[in-house]
Structure 1
Amino acid sequence: MGEEYVYVATSDVGRVIGRSGTTIRNLQDDSGCRIKVFRNDDGDVYTKVQLKGSTDTIDCAKNLISRITKLRVTGDHSDDESRVSGWGKSYVSSNQDDCSSKNQTTDDWDEPDTTATPVTQSSRTWSSDMMWSSGSSHTSGSSHGFKSGFNRRQIKIADRGRGSSYQQHSSSRQHHGTSQFNVPDSSGTERKVQIDWAALHAGRAEAVAKKWKGLPDIVKDFYNEDTEVASLSYSDVEAFRSDRNGISVVDLSDKDRLIPNPVKTFEQAFRDYPEIIDQIYKQEFVHPSPIQCQSWPVLLKGFDMVGIAQTGTGKTLAFLLPALIHINGQTVPRSERSGPTVLVLSPTRELALQIEKEVQKFCYKGIRSVCVYGGGNRKEQIKTVGRGVEIVIATPGRLNDLLMNGVLCLRSVTFLILDEADRMLDMGFEPQIKKVLLDIRPDRQTVMTSATWPPGVRRLAESYMTDPFQVTVGTLDLQACKAVVQQVEFIEDSDKKERVMEFINDMIDGEKVLIFCSRKATADDLASDLLLHGYPVQSIHGDREQEDREQALEDFSTGAAPILVATDVASRGIDIKDITFVINFDFPMHIEDYVHRVGRTGRAGSTGKALTFMSRSNWKWARQLIKILSDACQVVPLELVSMAERYDKWCERNRDGRRY
């Protein structure tokens, strides 16, 4: 068995892995090759992928991966199978033997016309969506690193349906000066082509300015600071922030700006907007949450903002209420705008629907909204958009679908929210997000919310936000809610179902339990067993029809089915305030998902309890779980400490460069 390394454009990694790993499993099954995608914590343009198997299986896997990249770049829609919102195709396993033509790589595509003249904006522009190959190596440890051996590597480029194999002699990351390529023409003769990066960038700035010329100015500042808030001293402000779960505010710009003081009451934030205050009290809110105290002054003042806080802390209202005021305060009448004013991007259908419910609760000035998401009634969504809306809440896939088909225009969007940005990046939505942002005017007001602050989110904020403030509640470290009692139980996999039934039998009327499983099949199996034993249960995961998912959430919310079995699709998409218990039937694949699962209970100031089942196979998470439990002032079982120590010793004995 040999191995080989290839380098895939980081923007395409999500397409190689697929939703919940579906695509990479299909690739492995169809090629017979083991595929491993390495982590890219440095934010490099390219991500390392390991291929293990025979020469034939490795070649087959390379062909299939190239097929995914090629189809996305060329936009070939001749086969509608598994189209992703008009953004190209993702790989799907089929009965055809894709590997039978494994030698027909991109070298067999029609050759593009090439010249020896420098490439500028007026001539050909080359796609940066490439797959790098380090060359075949069938002995362990002989692969080259990305930064140290990429001269004369093959680049697969697809250019508007035509492609070729190129030899690169200079770094593709060069953004200034020129880069030179040796390009073979149809006769096999190599010609030199230069890319003038400076000319391309200069032309881009001119094109962007021309694209957005003539649009009306955006009104952003709607804040009249309350006299009591304005009179707070520095020590008073710091004491208040410290008492409210440790609010911190950082100016991410290089400007010398005053940070707005936090508000303590709803009246201090919205004294000029009595209708907003009336709607707040109708929802029986008592006082602003910590993230709201600081976010409202920042956003009403018109600044961009990154809001980082745990789940269930009121981030939705933190950006929603300023958005409503922003809509009504623009100079162009709502009836004369070419499209929505506010766009909210959400990673999951459930979270998008939850945001729409919050919008509908605040009937402010007759503002209309629509939620567009995959799996919903596309025809009805298009009709609603056509009637005119001020707010669009969308998942990236369906939004790109409507944009590509000319159903929706985003030129009038002046307030953009990227909700749960870290989750969207985890799910591979970064290419779709970047594509959407190209259609929105750059002088917009942008809000980004996240539960964590990973490098990908930082990169997104640096690229697409203008001088933002970062408002953080608590710490930037991964931390679970302290209002939730977290317990860990060590149990064999075969005993989990019986333990769940014992737990349910001890529940009293009015209590609800949310049970998380890592696999859809496990969720279906557990829900079926509970149903056969007479328990009122519902289930939710990505393979269920949208109407079934919505019905499951409705039954769980009303108490008709106080037991909900779910995969991680629900770890950020459920905002039901009276969930009493969370059970982690399977330990999640990522420690971040543990925090979000636990955060489904103990919301809106209430308390909750989380029970996590652990077996020996979960021992690699023990050390990280200990830290989360300790930071949340929870009891750390001695067996968990022992498990972490055993895993550390095992890693010491097996240090040979492998990833664990």
Structure 2
Amino acid sequence: MPFAELGLSDELLNAVTDAGYTEPTPIQAAAIPSVLMMRDIIGIAQTGTGKTASFVLPMIDILAHGRSRARMPRSLILEPTRELAAQVAENFEKYGVNSNLSMALLIGGVSMGDQLAALEKGVDVLIATPGRLMDLFNRGKIMLNGCSLLVIDEADRMLDMGFIPDIEEICTKLPKQRQTLLFSATMPPPIKKLADKFLENPKMIEVARPASTNINIKQWVVPVAGSTAAKRDRLRQILAQEEVTNAIVFCNRKTTVRELNKTLKQAGFKSGEIHGDMEQAQRIAELDLFKDGHINILVASDVAARGLDIKGVSTVFNFDAPWHPDDYVHRIGRTGRAGATGTAYTFVAPDDDENIANIEKLTGQQIPRLDAPVAVAAPVAEAPAPREERPRRNRRERPAPEAVRNEPVRDEAAHEAVAPVEAPAAPSRAAAPSPMREDRRPERQEREPRRDYRRHQVDDGPDDGWNGPIPAFLNARLVIQP
């Protein structure tokens, strides 16, 4: 089904075509006609399905006729994070290029003066986070009684972040006769209760099973040792693979984000970071660097996990296994978007077994394990052959001491006959060489003491067998009888 069959205006269709889109996604095809008919909507869709455009596009046509008034926005879109709000604003700018709609972004971390100035002029679309909106409302800087269309986006994330009381209070400030659109990746009981309270006869649109993961994403569990160093080594191994063109690496703590980004840079990777302690301008700058390809690895906390629409992310890493199963779905949803394929790796230490079990229970599938790569050279160095199996220099086959003691007693005459032969043998190695050897190889005078020292060191081991004087009877076999 092409966009032209959804009932959108020609001006909007031209903007969609210019943006490079020809056919709607399933959530767009199901939601846009109903929104244009002014129905309340509950949209359940996994991330990366084009959910944002499913309400942005019809809103542009709905608000095309009408006039805005100062401090009284005509429509309101609530987002759980600044990044999501900024992304929705980008969608309005892209698709509303042929319209005269005014828009304001009301988020924390940005100068309030500029936001108030935009509200004073009057806006057709107000995109806000609940905290900043309630702050300005309580100061009397904004009125909500002229808002006829409300969008609650990422409702389950709102629940996780504790915004549901703020959402309920905001809904009571809006006109009762309004259109309400609620979108969420999952539908836990508190969200269903919120929908039952503030939506009238909503149409339920569900394009995927709740909490299911994108089938275009290849998922792996990577068993690692509990130490952070082991996880960093494994991460660098996978990042070095050719198929990893760019990646988002999620951590549970902000301190881990900073430390991991630092070590990746030291290892020569082009990485950046984004977390809650950064100013909004810094976070936007890092995202822009990642989108533009100046950095290809973005280390992030869960502040960036939901809703960020970054095209072409090949790989997602869960450096820390997420504490909440829902976060897993949203983290890996940063790849495999809009029909593309992607890969997600989750590092699992021994203490993370319960977290992975909860994730597999939520998603209804078992994630395959990725075996560690086999080291090639390490085992040779780490497991040398036993000492007695290695060849020894200057060793002669000798019987064990027990064999010497058990040897039958030889004739004393044999002992005496052998003694003159062996007597000069022992001191001959330490003494100066004979004139004949000195003439043939004079350099042996300097090398001889070194060789004797090495021989002594080799034969000095505890397991070299008999190391005493050579028994005379052993040389009896060497006597040549006249």
Cross-structure match for 2:197? 463
CA contact (8 A) 1:485 1:608 kept: yes
Task: For residues 466-509 of structure 1, give each alpha carbon's deviation from its aligned partner in whole angstroms, at most 9, with x where no partner exists.
Answer: 11111001213x2111100001110013201111122222246x
Matched AA of 2:216: A
Three-state SS of the structure 1 residue aligned to 2:159 is helix
Q: Among residues 4, 9, 12, which one is paired with 1:276 in the alignment? A: 12
Distance in 1 of aligned mates of 2:369 and 2:267 = 32
Distance in 1 of aligned mates of 2:71 and 2:249 = 44
Task: For residues 597-656 of structure 1, give each alpha carbon's deviation from its aligned partner in whole angstroms, at most 9, with x where no partner exists.
Answer: 11000001110000110011111123333346664xx763499xxxxxxxxxxxxxxxxx
CA contact (8 A) 1:629 1:635 kept: no
Distance in 2 of aligned mates of 1:638 and 1:283 = 39
CA, structure 1 residues 421+595, in 2 after alignment: closer, same or farther (shift >3 Å)?
Answer: same
Cross-structure match for 1:479? 212
* 1:356-395 correspondence runs (5 A): 356-362=89-95, 363-395=97-129
Cross-structure match for 1:609? 343
Task: For residues 486-545 of structure 1, give each alpha carbon's deviation from its aligned partner in whole angstroms, at most 9, with x where no partner exists.
Answer: 01110013201111122222246x911100000011111101111222321110111111
CA contact (8 A) 1:417 1:448 kept: yes
Cross-structure match for 1:158? none
Matched AA of 2:84: L
Matched AA of 2:304: A
CA contact (8 A) 2:224 2:231 kept: yes
Distance in 1 of aligned mates of 2:223 and 2:22 = 40
Distance in 2 of aligned mates of 1:502 and 1:610 = 15
1:503 paired with 2:233, answer no
Matched AA of 1:500: L
Q: Among residues 313, 319, 324, which one is paired with 1:579 in the alignment? A: 313
1:441 paired with 2:178, answer no
CA contact (8 A) 2:316 2:331 kept: yes
Shift of 1:286: 2.3
Three-state SS of the structure 1 residue aligned to 2:173 is coil
Distance in 2 of aligned mates of 1:562 and 1:636 = 26
* 1:126-145 correspondence runs (5 A): none
Distance in 2 of aligned mates of 1:455 and 1:628 = 15
CA contact (8 A) 1:515 1:566 kept: yes
Distance in 2 of aligned mates of 1:364 and 1:410 = 27
Relative to its length, the structure with more strand (as a share) is 1
1:636 paired with 2:371, answer no
1:303 paired with 2:39, answer yes
* 1:128-527 correspondence runs (5 A): 264-270=1-7, 273-329=9-65, 333-335=66-68, 339-362=72-95, 363-476=97-210, 478-494=211-227, 495-507=230-242, 511-527=245-261
Cross-structure match for 1:557? 291
CA contact (8 A) 1:309 1:473 kept: yes
Three-state SS of the structure 2 residue aligned to 1:535 is coil
Task: For residues 179-217 of structure 1, give each alpha carbon's deviation from its aligned partner in whole angstroms, at most 9, with x where no partner exists.
Answer: xxxxxxxxxxxxxxxxxxxxxxxxxxxxxxxxxxxxxxx
CA contact (8 A) 1:375 1:546 kept: yes
CA, structure 1 residues 604+625, in 2 after alignment: closer, same or farther (shift >3 Å)?
Answer: same
Cross-structure match for 2:473? none
CA contact (8 A) 2:71 2:141 kept: no
Matched AA of 1:619: D
CA contact (8 A) 1:396 1:429 kept: yes
Three-state SS of the structure 1 residue aligned to 2:237 is helix
CA contact (8 A) 1:480 1:628 kept: no
Task: For residues 545-592 of structure 1, give each alpha carbon's deviation from its aligned partner in whole angstroms, at most 9, with x where no partner exists.
Answer: 111111110111111111100011111042101111101000001010
**TM-score normalised by structure 1 residue count:** 0.54
Distance in 2 of aligned mates of 1:403 and 1:575 = 30
Distance in 1 of aligned mates of 2:120 and 2:332 = 40
CA contact (8 A) 1:346 1:419 kept: yes
**TM-score normalised by structure 2 residue count:** 0.74
Shift of 1:265: 2.0
CA contact (8 A) 2:71 2:121 kept: no
Distance in 1 of aligned mates of 2:257 and 2:357 = 27
Distance in 2 of aligned mates of 1:540 and 1:336 = 37
CA, structure 1 residues 419+611, in 2 after alignment: closer, same or farther (shift >3 Å)?
Answer: same
Shift of 1:402: 1.3
Unaligned runs of 5+ in 2: 372-482
Once the two structures are aligned, what percentage of the paired residues are identical? 38
| RMSD over equivalenced CA pairs, Å | 1.8
Distance in 2 of aligned mates of 1:409 and 1:635 = 49
Three-state SS of the structure 2 residue aligned to 1:471 is strand
Shift of 1:381: 1.3
CA contact (8 A) 2:68 2:74 kept: no
Three-state SS of the structure 2 residue aligned to 1:307 is strand
Shift of 1:270: 2.5
Structure with the greater alpha carbon radius of gyration: 2
CA contact (8 A) 1:372 1:395 kept: yes
Shift of 1:376: 1.4
Task: For residues 23-73 of structure 1, give each alpha carbon's deviation from its aligned partner in whole angstroms, at most 9, with x where no partner exists.
Answer: xxxxxxxxxxxxxxxxxxxxxxxxxxxxxxxxxxxxxxxxxxxxxxxxxxx
Distance in 1 of aligned mates of 2:361 and 2:349 = 18
Matched AA of 1:270: G
Distance in 1 of aligned mates of 2:131 and 2:193 = 21
Matched AA of 2:125: I
CA contact (8 A) 1:540 1:570 kept: yes
Cross-structure match for 2:443? none
CA contact (8 A) 1:483 1:602 kept: yes
Unaligned runs of 5+ in 1: 1-263, 640-660
Cross-structure match for 1:93? none
How many residue pairs get aligned? The number is 368
CA, structure 1 residues 267+530, in 2 after alignment: closer, same or farther (shift >3 Å)?
Answer: same
Distance in 1 of aligned mates of 2:215 and 2:91 = 25
Matched AA of 1:284: G
